[in-house]
Amino acid sequence: MVYLQPRPSRIQLRRARRRRLLLSAMLLMIAALMAGQARSGDILPGPIPATVQKVVDGDTVHVRARIRLGQDVETMVRLAGIDTPEIRGRGGCPEERDLAAKVT
């Protein structure tokens, strides 16, 4: 005895095709993200050319850097070994705040 299954409709075939395509795209995106993305704390071999987008304060800048072909990253960079007062900070004595206001 042979059991015949009903043939899937066009709508069912489209849905199945769409699911496979969506799953494939998701897997590709996950693989691309896991393949070589730098995590917080990872050190990229440098120097890496970057353009300063904004100066946050005396020792911190907001930069845009191209770390790979077609992959730009915007991040805050704090300069090591330099300690300056915060522009919008509360801390510091009045003389320090006056000096910071003159610099900016």
The strand pairing partners of 54, in sequence order, are 62
| 3-state DSSP assignment of residue 79 | coil
Could you give the CA distance from residue 67 to residue 23 in angstroms, rounded to a whole number? 28
Q: How far apart are CA 31 and CA 99, in angstroms?
A: 50
Q: Prior bond to 47 cis, omega within 30?
A: yes
- The model carries a pTM of 0.41
Q: Is the pLDDT of residue 15 over 80?
A: yes
Rounded distance between C-alpha atoms, residue 82 and residue 57, angstroms: 11
User: Where along the chain do its domains lie?
Assistant: 10-37+47-103
Location of structure tokens 């090591």: 80
Residue pLDDT, tens place only, 23-60: 888 888 777 766 655 555 666 677 778 888 988 887 88
